[in-house]
Each structure stands twice: as structure tokens, then as C-alpha cells.
A = this chain, B = another copy of it.
Amino acid sequence: MDAAFDIRFEPDGQVYEASGPVEVFLAAAARGILIEQPCGATGTCGKCRVRVIDGAPPPSDADQRVLDPAEIAGGWRLACHLVLDRPARVEVPSAARSAAGKSFGGALDLVGSSRVVQVRTLDVAPASNDNQESDLDRVAAALGLARRDVTASPAALAELRTRLAKTSPVRAAFQANELVAVGPASPVSCFGLAIDIGSTSLAAALVDLTSGEVGAAGSRLNPQVVFGADVISRIHYAGQHAGGTARLTAAVRDGLAALVDELVEATGCSASDVVAAACAGNPTMLHTWAGVNPAPLGIAPYVGTWSGEIDCRAEKVGLPIHPNARVYAFPMIRSHVGADTVSAAVACGLDRASRPTLLIDLGTNSEIILAEGGRYLAASAAAGPAFEGATIRHGMRAAPGAIDAVSVSCDGRVTVNTIGNLPPAGICGSGLVDAVAELLRVGAITPSGLLAAPEEASGRWPGALGARLKPVSGQRAFVLADAASSASGEDVLLTAPDVRQLQLAKGSILAGVTILCGKFGIGVTDLEEILLAGAFGNYLRKTSALSIGLVPAIDPERVRFVGNAAGVGARLALVDQDARARARAIASDAEYVELASHADYQQVFMRSLAFPEPD
């Protein structure tokens, strides 16, 4: 069927007009609906399932492998293998939706800001006997500038000539006084690429360089995961394998290139319409992306190869956009407080905080910045991988099947929620925090971190709860999901050592916060606002974070999740010249505090391990 047809996305009500067979994730992305494909569209994880309400095509092999017959009969399909060639109505459940779209933020206030890239539609005067100025000099004149006040690379000059030979007006993109790209006058939009390179996920958005609006956004697994799940294992890989850095570099660049190709297709623009990029990421990710061996980041004194911003051409980092496009990467504060943190600080306006404001980017390394009136203290707290599910008995990443929320009702019933509503396969960071917070509340975990023994249950908690306390291999444990309901057919447990791991993580962060506050000359309760950033933050319940004392006990109203602020910062730096200046100032002015070498650290850390008394 080659005629045009509509695809309607529910519950949004957005309609995509297809001109032929189309992959559903592209059609959705073109309407701003981002379907996450964590397994890299291999048809294995099942996370991208959508329901085709009308017009469902026959199931794919992947559907038959991953979905059960009832689901298939109900119209469920894996979006990664779904091509639509006729009118359809498609429900995209929230579980399938990528957080990447939100990662790059909503409306930006760009009034009065100076654009990094100026996109202009120019009517270039033709050359004549009376106007023998060169093409580029006539472009300068069209801008009201003097001859030679506009420069251009050979590639841009070639583009200018080719375009002027065909038509005028032309669309010209300038960065500073350089003509970066020349295109047809219509469409008038030029895009920039905002990038957030995470250890696990790559996220990117095409941003209209004039309006600042997101044209399309998406994310995909960082292909580097095959070299190790976390930053440390990648650093080791680079350090211990000949050609390791080159492989890591190729992996992340390939992943970004594939993502860019998708976004370009989704917006219907061409790669040469993408004329700038801005990039955030942690130091290890930026080092490998830039092609620089990250090994020194993994051993004392933990020093990277550069700390300032990067400004290079797209082709230097293998981005398949306009080869002249300039790629900006945020500066870093220190080797473990990187471009992602600075980007988040810009997005959160930390430089404009007139009262003590704390930003915590939660993760294995949790970066902390305390700011007030242009003064900054920064630290990196080694929280360990508990938030990412590692070192936890049944821990897992926030992937389908992970318990991401736990609640305990008045009558002692335990309810768990899993990502994708699948049978529980394990517990991710937010589930861990939730579980501990809820058990603290009902007294099954003490403030010192002791998980109750089965014999204590009697009479204290309703039977349903008490029955879940059962020792495993001599350790106390709590059954979050029993064998009958779990994916593996075995109990999914929270063990006493798991609680201890969470204590260590939260203790590390709280100790960092406490030391920064002390050095700043304030108490933790003087904090005006606490901003929690990072992908993990998206899933965390604020009350649970406060309940376990992950952050100082201040009014919950003053604790705010800012999501993946690094992505928002990248989008800002793409359009707003001022955002780059602000990033530079933050990175330069921030004073780095080495927590581990602080005299009081051990003492403060020990004090920070205890959970708060429940209300």
C-alpha cells in the first residue's frame, strides 16, 4: 500500500502522516514521542512494547519470541520490529516511553539571549560589473558587515558557490564571524545536536537553533557496555588492552552516529542541516569519545588529560552532521566532577543561586556542588554502585522487570511495581531506596540499619509482613516478591548486606554534603534548595530519599528532582552563547574539595551512616 495514511498515537492523539511503510519508532519520534529501545532494537528486552489498537500487522518473529499469545492477540507488538503500512492507532504506554525527551527539557526562556549560531535567510546581491565583491564578501554585505569580516572554511565556500549558482535567497548559518553552512532558503530551520553521553545510555536531541525547541530526541544503549558495565571497568579495559581506547572510542561514536541518523530521519531534515553540537558527559565518557585514553582517571592521582571546554569540528569526533559544524563540550571542574555536572549546574542556574543551593548528581560517583552568590564548592562522593543495582544481592539496572517502587500498606501488604509491569526479576536503585524507606517507616529496619529477625515479627507487624522476614544463608532478609510471582521462580530478596550497601552509599553522599556545608560555613539545614539530578533521580521517590537520609532533612518542598539536567544544559549551550560563558565561570570558579583527604571525613562519614528516625 503506497498511498498516504495516518498513524495516530494514543493517548497523545498525535497524528503522523505516512507516505509509505514506516518504522513506528520513527513516526512516533517525529511527533515527539520517544520509544525507548534499551536493547538496541534487537527484539530481546521487550521494553518497547506498544499496542496497535486498529490496523495491527501480523506479529514479527521477535513478537512471537518475546510476547505471549494473549498479548499478541491484544495488539501488542515490539516497536523495534514494527513497520506500519496502513492506517493505524497505536498506544504507546508510559513504560515504553523514553525519558530522553524529558532529558532535554521543555520550553526555554531565550529572550534576550545571544544565539551561538545565527541562522539567517539572506538575499545575496548578484555579482555585477558594479559589484565585483566576492561571494563571501557579498554575504558579509547582506549582513551589514564589511568585506572580509566573514570567514569560511573551504567546504563552506564550496557550498556557498554551489548554492548561489542555483538560487538566492539562501539560508546561512554563522557561528561567531564564520559562515558554517549554506543551505536552501526553505526550510528555514537549522538544527543543533544536544548530546548527553552516559555510561549506560546515549541521549541526543535535535534542537532548532533559532527557537531552541526540540525537534526530535532519542536515546540508545551506549555500545561501550560490551566493554564493561560501568566507568571503572571501561577505564580498566582501555588501560589493559592494546587498542582498547580506540575500541571504546569507535563504540561510543558509532552509537552516537546511529542515534543521529535516527533523529535526522525523524525530523525529516538532512544531516547537513545540523550545523552545531553541544555535548555533556562524565570525564571517562568524554575522554573515550574524544579518543583519549582514560586510564589515568582510574588510578591515583585520578587526573584527566584536559579540563577546559572542547571546540572542534564534527568530523574530528565522527559525528555524521555537517562536517563544518562546531562541536562544543562542557568544561570540567576536576577529573571526577565533569562536563555532565557543569552542564547540569548551568541548567539548574546554580550560578544564579542567591541562597545556599545544593546540586547532587546521583550515581556511582555522585557529584555534589554547593553554590551561593557565585561561590562554589564541588566534590565527588564515591557512593558505590548500589544505586545501579550492583553489589546488591538481587540488584539490577533500571531495566524491564526491575522492582522500581515498593510500598507497604497499613495492613502490612507489600506492593511492588516493576518496570514494564513484568514479573519481578530483581531490584533497581529506586526500588532499593523505596524498600528500605518503607521498612524503616514500619520499624522492620532500625535507624542503625538493622533488619528485623523473624522472631521479632510476632505481634509487631501484621502477619503478611512478618512472614516475609526470613533468613537466607544465615543472613537476615526480606522477601520483596515470592518465588511464585517472580521471573526466576525464586524469591526476590532484600538482604541485611543490601541495607548495609545502601547505608554506605547514602552515608558517602551525606558526608560529602555535610563537609561541603561545613567548609561553606553553613549547617545542612541552612540549605535553601536541594536539586537531585541524574537518570536515577527520575525514578526515585522524594519522600523515600528523605526517609533514608540520602539528603539532609529539610522541608520536602525544598527538595527538587531536576531529571537529567545535563541534557538540558547541553541544549542550552547549543543555542545560548551565555550558557557557555556561565559554564566556563562555574568550572573555573568552583573550588574542588577532595573528600577522602579531608581531616574530618571518616568521622563525618560514620555519623552519616545512620538512617533518620522515622516520623
Identify which of B307, B315, B334 contacts A136 (C-beta below 8 A).
Answer: B307
| Interface flag for A70 (CB, 8 Å) | no
Interface bin, chain A:
35 or more
Specify how many copies of this chain sit in the oligomer: 2
Which one of B147, B162, B306, B317 lies within 8 Å of A134 (CB-CB)? B306
Closest B residue to A246 using CB positions: B158
Do B134 and A312 touch (CB < 8 A)? Answer: no
Structural contact, B155 and A291, CB atoms closer than 8 A: yes
Instruction: Tell whether A132 pairs with B306 under 8 Å between CB atoms, given A311-B151, A588-B148.
Output: no
In the complex, A541→B128 CA distance in Å?
40
Cβ-neighbour of A303 out of B127, B306, B308 (below 8 A): B127
Would you give the 0/1 interface string for A135-158, flagging 1 where the beta carbon is closer than 8 Å to chain B? 111000000000110011111011
Chain B residues whose CB sits within 8 angstroms of the CB of A129 once the complex forms: 300-301, 597
Shortest distance between the CB of A277 and any CB in chain B (Å): 13
Binary interface profile of A, 102-137, with partner B (CB < 8 Å = 1, else 0)? 000000000000000000000000011101111111
> Contacts A161-B293, A293-B162 hold; do A305 and B136 have CB atoms under 8 A apart?
yes
Chain A residues numbered 257-309 whose CB sits less than 8 Å from any CB in chain B: 290-293, 295-296, 300-308
| Contact call A132/B316, Cβ cutoff below 8 A | no
Q: Is A160 an interface residue (CB 8 A)?
A: yes
* Contact flag A137-B306 (CB < 8 Å), given A158-B292, A293-B161, A317-B154: yes
For chain A, residues 309 to 341, give those with C-beta under 8 angstroms from any C-beta of chain B. 310-313, 315-317, 331-332, 334-335
Q: Which residue of B lies closest to A306 (CB)?
A: B136
CA distance A303 to B312 in the complex (A): 31
Q: Are B307 and A154 in contact (CB under 8 A)?
A: no
In the complex, the chain B residue whose C-beta lies closest to that of A147 is B307
Q: Is A165 an interface residue (CB 8 A)?
A: yes
Q: In the complex, what residues of B have CB within 8 A of residue A132's CB?
A: 301-303, 334-335, 592, 594
Closest Cβ–Cβ distance, residue A324 to chain B (whole Å): 9
Is the Cβ of A128 less than 8 Å from the Cβ of B301?
yes
Q: Which residues of B contact A588 (CB under 8 A)?
A: 148
B133 adjacent to A305 (CB under 8 Å) = no
Contact A308 B136 (CB under 8 A): yes
Task: Give Cα A245 to B153, complex, Å.
Answer: 17
* Given known A-B contacts A165-B293, A335-B132, A588-B148, A154 and B316 have beta carbons under 8 A apart: yes
CB neighbours (8 Å) of A335 from chain B are: 132, 134
The distance in angstroms between the C-alpha atoms of A2 and B136, with both chains bound, is: 57
The residues in A between 397 and 428 inclusive whose CB is less than 8 angstroms from any CB of B are: none
CB distance from A127 to the nearest CB of B (A): 4
Q: Is the CB of A151 within 8 A of B308?
A: yes
| Chain B, Cβ-Cβ closest to A290 | B154
A153 to B293, CA, bound (A): 14
Alpha-carbon gap, A332 to B135, bound state (A): 13
CB distance from A319 to the nearest CB of B (A): 11
Pick the contact of A161: B133, B165, B292 (CB < 8 A).
B292
Give A150's nearest chain B residue, CB to CB: B308
CA distance A136 to B290 in the complex (A): 14
Least Cβ distance of A596 to chain B in Å? 10
Chain B residues in 8 Å Cβ range of A311: 151
- Which residues 149-197 of A sit at the B interface, judged by CB distance below 8 A? 151-155, 157-158, 160-162, 165
Q: Are A305 and B153 in contact (CB under 8 A)?
A: no
Contacts of A308 in B (CB 8 A): 136-137, 147-148, 151
Task: Give Cα A306 to B302, complex, Å.
Answer: 48
Q: Is A312 a contact partner of B161 (Cβ separation < 8 A)?
A: no
**Contact in complex: B135, A312 (CB < 8 Å):** no
Residues of B within 8 A of A295 (CB): 165
**Which are the 4 A-B pairs with shortest beta-carbon distances?**
A154-B290, A127-B303, A148-B308, A136-B306
Given contacts A132-B592, A135-B306, A162-B293, 15 further A-B contacts (CB under 8 A): A129-B597, A131-B301, A133-B303, A134-B332, A135-B304, A136-B306, A136-B308, A148-B308, A153-B312, A154-B317, A157-B291, A158-B245, A158-B291, A165-B293, A165-B295
Instruction: Sample 12 A-B pairs with CB under 8 A, ordered by A number.
Output: A127-B296, A132-B301, A132-B335, A133-B303, A134-B335, A135-B304, A147-B307, A147-B308, A153-B316, A158-B245, A158-B293, A162-B293
